[in-house]
Amino acid sequence: MADMHKIRRETIRWQILLTLNNARPIGAFEKLVLSVIQSEYPDATQNEVRRELDYLGGRDLVHIDKRPDGRWFCEIIRYGVDVVEYTVAVEPGIARPEQYFDA
């Protein structure tokens, strides 16, 4: 039986990377990221998105600016772009689909 929590976590991480890649070069506040995630998982919470953003930040895929007003501003960084563009291998923990096209 599939671990649904693991699938959800890893899918959210991939969706965050895609969202921030589309927000380049400006970046995005977490509220925008959350709204995208909620299109797939309507019950997703701010805390859940922050947890996965923090994970991606720890892997040097995104940069997070935790602002004094409590909002988080996020940007995908070079290695994150490479993951999204399939130019580097992705380590376990992110549900990147298999590449079905030639880059």
How many beta carbons lie within 10 A of that of residue 46, not counting itself? 13
Q: What is the pLDDT of residue 100?
A: 74
What is this structure's pTM?
0.92
Rounded CA-CA distance 55/16 in Å is 11
Architecture of domain 4-84: Orthogonal Bundle (1.10)
User: Mean pLDDT, consecutive 10-residue segments, the chain of 103 residues?
Assistant: 88 98 96 97 97 98 97 97 95 89 62
Domain residue extents for the chain? 4-84
pLDDT value of position 101: 66
